[in-house]
Chains A and B, each alone.
Chain A
Amino acid sequence: MKLYCLSGHPTLPCNVLKFKSTTIMLDCGLDMTSVLNFIPLPLVHSSRLSTLPSWIMKDGNTILEKGFKDCAGRVFIDSLPEFCLPEKELLDLSTVDVILISNYHCMMALPYITEHTGFTGTVYTTEPTLQIARLLMEELVHFIERVPKDQSAVYWKSKEMWRLLPSSLKDAVDVTTWKPCYNIQDVNAALSKVQLVGYSQKIELFGAVQITPLSSGYSLGSCNWIIQSHYEKVSCVSGSSLLTTHPQPMEQSSLKNSDVLILTGLTQIPTANPDGMLGEFCSNLAMTIRSGGNVLVPCYPSGVVYDLLECLYQFIDSASLNSTPFYFISPVANSSLEFSQIFAEWLCQSKQSKVYLPEPPFPHAELIQTNKLKHYSSVYGDFSNDFKQPCVVFTGHPSLRFGDVVHFMELWGKSSLNTIIFTEPDFSYVDALAPFQPLAMKCVYCPIDTRLNFIQVNKLLKELQPLHLVCPEQYTQPPPSQVHRSDLMLDVQMPLMAYKRCSVLTLPFRRSFERIEILPQLADSLMPIEMKPGVSVATISATLHSKDNKHVLQPPLKTMVPPLSKKRKRVIEESTELKAPKPLLSGTIPVELFLATLHKNGITEVKMEDTSEGHILHLQEEDTLIQLEDDSTHIICDNNESLRSTLRDLVLRFLQKL
């Protein structure tokens, strides 16, 4: 059993498990941090961005220089942003049978994996994950495609230039594997390969393994996967949360008794407490509005934004923000808000019981109804008419490289009254802001990452007790920025295997058993012998039928009557092949009893001789020797087949047969 690790990003994993003749891909996360190296894509022409100076290299390579811009000492690629894909060369992706998705963030590389690679398998995930992933992908494609950009940077990816690149790019994962965004056709094609599953549904793969998604508590429809056969169990814990937010709580007990637990997707901000961050978010927001400034919240169109809106719903009155407009701008804003209301089955208990009333589970329905929250597909059109300041704007993309957020950065960045509040934990806010420097706008960093922190995961692993643990190498040491914080790493008893991008791990499994079924007719024909109290054995000779990795034992075929033909010999041979082999023997022959038996069968003249190991019986009349020892019997006789078979049968009487 092997694990191929195609991504080095701990929260956006992409591992491939080879298990019992199946090849299973676990998640296909897309590392988007690469886009931070690119110049932002403004919605309207930005004179500031377009007049940024070119990057001056020490040795003055002008061809390369043209493709880079310099902003406040940082270098950016002047081109459409590109993403860091999972490794495609480590194994042939067309051999992947199934892809299991744990949550919509870990699905963003799917079109790269399923399209143009020869992939012919099935993707399994839950309905909310599929719907929201579709929204995220549509938004991404929309953001990138609506601002056509001429490709000024062309040469930066060529090998010769590599050593000349700025250090931020040189340190990054192999830039030659970076790829531009997929298009909407690829998204549709990829998502059409999805097969929907429900929590705790047992799905058979090729009769060989069973997979089961379990609620992971992180986002709508997010799940951990169990991959098991009758004897082995692998649990994949990816992006789980123990906090009470909107999704159904994490199912833990089914993860017990795993042989291997693959752990990915822990919190990216282990030092921040999500509840505290939420409080800070509200107070900073209120403060800015009160002083007449605007608040910009870069966010994804689904996920934490629901919690932020719910938090504001409770906060608006007490902070007297009743007249402040809240805008949610995304090409999929409406869909996201609507979709969130129809997944009752996937929500936490309190939200479920609201649906039973029947009321919408999320209070943003009320915010929309009372006109406090308005959603728009972009800053164009209706929004520009309705737009009133001071206001709060939720919009994407959190990287600040594309999407409507770029427009607001250009618009509000120069005023110190305004505030940008970072809540999404995926991008470093310093890097995100770099191409907008110098900025006058206030910046607040309240990352909300509800995934497991180290205290929670260490406790969880102590309860689950997997025999082996597999995790990204980042979790085996404190974060590089806080080397002394030994509490910010895994602390577990079980053997641990760490991986990085392109690792191939051999998982410590020794399979020794397989499930087989016996037909009742065959079972009836068995003759069990009790060997010890409570232990019986029976010898089986049967025909084995194997189909779709299922094995069934049926009663052996009756030996065919050999047809009279020239090929008689062959037929005889075939029929002997069908006969059961002789059983193994066990036990010791009691000499006295054996002698008595010989007597009964008319063999009377027996001379017995003791040896160091046993006895030698000499049947004088027949000139036959029988050597009897504790665990062996040797019959030496002359040309007397009938005597030999009699003796054989007598000996067998005293032995157990297996």
Chain B
Amino acid sequence: MPEIKVTPLGAGQDVGRSCILVSIGGKNVMLDCGMHMGFNDDRRFPDFSYITQNGRLTEFLDCVIVSHFHLDHCGALPYMSEMVGYDGPIYMTHPTKAICPILLEDFRKITVDKKGETNFFTSQMIKDCMKKVTAVNLHQTVQVDDELEIKAYYAGHVLGAAMFQIKVGAESVVYTGDYNMTPDRHLGAAWIDKCRPDIVISESTYATTIRDSKRCRERDFLKKVHETVERGGKVLIPVFALGRAQELCILLETFWERMNLKAPIYFSTGLTEKANHYYKLFITWTNQKIRKTFVQRNMFEFKHIKPFDRSYTDNPGPMVVFATPGMLHAGQSLQIFKKWAGNDKNMVILPGYCVQGTVGYKILNGQRKLEMEGRNTLEVKMQVEYMSFSAHADAKGIMQLIRMAEPRNVLLVHGEAKKMEFLKQKIEQEFSVNCYMPANGETTTITTNPNIPVDISLSLLKRESVPGALPDPKKPRIMHGTLIMKDNSLRLVSSEQALKELGLVEHHLRFTCRVHIQDPHSEQDTLNKIYSHLKTVLKDSSIQHLPDGTLMVESILIKVSTASEDPSTKILLVSWTYQDEELGSYLSTLLRKGLPSS
């Protein structure tokens, strides 16, 4: 039995360092290659030694697919390709290919230059790694090799995020990456066709959440920002440079415009402008509304939002600052946070998911005294707010995607075990498909039972499908033929054609039975009697007189002759071929019983 194996190296019952291995039809595919934000040691990267203990991965993997540019999905890519060693193809969409190296470089700078870590990938390695990347377009069918093909679908979530279908022969897997089933202010909703894969591997970040309408959350967010600014407080919004940041910028920009507010909005790091440029050039990846109006007004040209300078941190008066990174685990957002945390007029709004171990995670869970480096503790007096703006599908959305794709199995990754368990039950109930949630390093095996494709001769197909009248499409038809298996090809042909192709001569097997009946009339009369007798018994068969005085029932011949010794005894010769065995045997038995005396 063919089977598909799925092993998460990361993101199995966890969020972070997404990396899932799939074996399908003899091909091995790595889905995402991310890092974990919550760790600073070896656990930061997926454990590639699972694939091989010694050295390079090239010969063990047919391709690597990266779903989007978030570091928990691509952060380990240069490590994997350049330090562990992988020279095969890497696939991602154009925006991901454009933005991914920038974020990797950023990540590298923070880790190496600021934290002083060694044994980390270098800028050159990022460049070399990106050279191995092939960019794919949405819906383009990419032939990785003769058998393996992949296809990208729009996933929403962030600019360029994609879901991927991986297909070998009749077997297929869909990997969702991170996705969003509701359009937001700058991106559209994920979409997939009814591709009926064997497995959907879905993220499940918000497995148990059913979020209220986006509009309410937006109103809430604006209210909180507005209130804080009104009372002269400062608002810190930790974000990742690309993604949520743009959505919130659009939101604040329009709000500022409408309310005619004057408090400055800043966006940290030089990435901003560049990031907005990417949005402008990849506008085809944004939502319908932005695409439609971009010629008149480009939504990514902001009037109210200015670049941030470190010196502004201590400026008096209200301000709103977007700062990276989004989980307060390093960089500028953490620095600003440290300065503003002590003032209860200020507010920090965390608009996205925070991984365990990060400062963001800690303060969201109510911790108000934080241990900082150098044994200092930081007391958090500022207000801490959480607003779920991260563009993940909620429980409803996940169910919706499963309904769209109609998979035979579902496998959950990228979520917390407890929440997954809940969703797993729901999925199994609603769709009556198996749902799996393997932990890291745990392999799920699914046996598939694909149909076997065969070439059928058109004459056979047509012959069977038109038995005289128009076929009834609802009624299954019976088909008889011969399957020829030769050099890996399977062909279904009629038996006659099979004989011919195999160079065989048909062997005709014929039976002739002599049946004696008593009938004093002439041979012609006897024949007519038989004719009418058979007509009443076999209503649906064709019975006809042939010119040479024989009777033909379907293809069975009946001949009448008079016995030489007794003119009242007639000898019937019933003759049929082996192919008519049933009817021939039936007829000879029937006639043996004699004719009805009418």
Contacts and interface: CB of A to CB of B under 8 A. Distances in A.
Interface string A288-331: 00000000000000000000000000000000000000000000
26 contacts: A198-B139, A199-B137, A199-B140, A342-B294, A344-B94, A344-B282, A345-B94, A355-B94, A355-B282, A358-B281, A523-B452, A535-B486, A537-B485, A540-B492, A541-B478, A544-B464, A551-B456, A584-B506, A586-B505, A586-B507, A632-B510, A635-B512, A636-B511, A639-B515, A641-B588, A648-B578
Contacts of B581: 582, 648
Interface string B533-555: 00000011000000000000000
Interface string B473-508: 100111111111111000110011011001011111
Interface in A567-600: 569, 573, 576-589
Contacts of B473: 546
B498 A516 contact: no
A517 B295 CA distance: 50
A424 B476 CA distance: 59
A535 B510 contact: no
B133 to A, nearest CB: 11
Given A513-B491, A517-B451, A634-B512, 18 more contacts: A345-B135, A356-B98, A361-B281, A516-B454, A516-B455, A520-B450, A540-B479, A542-B479, A584-B579, A586-B505, A631-B506, A632-B507, A633-B509, A641-B585, A644-B511, A648-B578, A648-B581, A658-B495
A34 to B, nearest CB: 32
B105 to A, nearest CB: 13
Given A198-B140, A546-B473, A513 B456 contact: yes
Interface string A202-225: 100000000010000000000000
Sorting the interface of chain B by its residue count into under 10, 10 to 19, 20 to 34 or 35 or more gives 35 or more
A355 B453 contact: no
A85 B128 CA distance: 54
A127 interface: yes
Q: Lowest 4 A-B CB distances belong to which pairs?
A: A517-B451, A543-B476, A632-B508, A356-B98
B457 interface: yes
A212 B284 CA distance: 21
A495 B588 CA distance: 59
A536 B284 CA distance: 54
Scoring A127, A201, A582 by chain B CB atoms within 10 A of each residue's CB, the highest score goes to A582
B505 A200 contact: no
A607 interface: no
Interface in B110-166: 135, 137-142, 151
Given A201-B140, A338-B294, A641-B588, A515 B479 contact: no
Interface of A: 127, 197-202, 212, 230-231, 334-335, 338-339, 341-345, 352, 355-356, 358-361, 511-520, 523, 526, 528, 531-532, 534-546, 551-554, 556-557, 569, 573, 576-589, 630-639, 641, 644-645, 648, 651-652, 655-656, 658
A576 B585 CA distance: 14
A361 B477 CA distance: 59
B338 to A, nearest CB: 32
Interface in B432-475: 449-459, 461, 464-465, 473
Nearest to A583: B495
Contacts of A658: 482, 495, 498-499, 504
Contacts of B456: 513-516, 551
Contacts of B137: 198-200, 345
B223 interface: no
B494 to A, nearest CB: 9
Contacts of B280: 342
Contact of A577 (B454, B478, B502, B516): B478
A631 B499 CA distance: 13
Nearest to A335: B295
Contacts of A551: 456, 461
Contact of B478 (A556, A583, A652): A556
A347 to B, nearest CB: 10
A631 B540 contact: no
B479 A544 contact: yes
Contacts of A635: 509-512
B231 to A, nearest CB: 39
A552 B509 contact: no
Given A198-B138, A520-B451, A641-B589, A586 B477 contact: no
Contacts of B505: 586, 630-631
Contact of A540 (B461, B481, B511): B481
B368 interface: no
B88 to A, nearest CB: 20
A626 to B, nearest CB: 10
A537 B498 contact: yes
Contacts of B295: 334-335, 338-339
B314 interface: no
Interface string B515-530: 1100000000000000
Nearest to B141: A202
Interface in B279-308: 280-284, 294-295
A25 B75 CA distance: 47
Contacts of B138: 198
Contact of A582 (B451, B476, B515, B579): B579
A521 to B, nearest CB: 8
Contacts of A542: 478-479
Contact of A541 (B294, B479, B484, B498): B479
A528 B281 contact: no
A512 B458 contact: yes
Contacts of A582: 578-582
A120 to B, nearest CB: 21
Given A201-B141, A514-B456, A655-B509, A355 B98 contact: yes
A309 B484 CA distance: 62
A361 B282 CA distance: 11
Nearest to A336: B295
Contacts of B592: 639
Given A584-B496, A639-B513, A656-B504, A342 B579 contact: no
B219 interface: no
B574 to A, nearest CB: 11
B458 A584 contact: no
A338 to B, nearest CB: 5
B476 A538 contact: no
B485 A546 contact: no
Contact of A539 (B97, B480, B515): B480
Contacts of A579: 582
Contacts of B504: 531, 586-587, 656, 658
A62 B482 CA distance: 79
B502 A539 contact: no
Contacts of A516: 453-456, 461, 492
A581 B579 CA distance: 7
B426 interface: no
Contacts of A655: 507, 509
A518 B483 CA distance: 11
A648 B513 CA distance: 13
Contacts of B512: 634-637
Contacts of B450: 520
B278 interface: yes
Contacts of B579: 581-582, 584
B154 to A, nearest CB: 11
Contacts of A202: 141
A284 B410 CA distance: 66
Nearest to B541: A573
B453 A517 contact: yes
Given A515-B453, A518-B451, A638 B513 contact: yes
B5 interface: no
A144 B261 CA distance: 47
Nearest to B93: A345
Contacts of B506: 584-586, 631
B514 interface: yes
Contacts of B539: 569
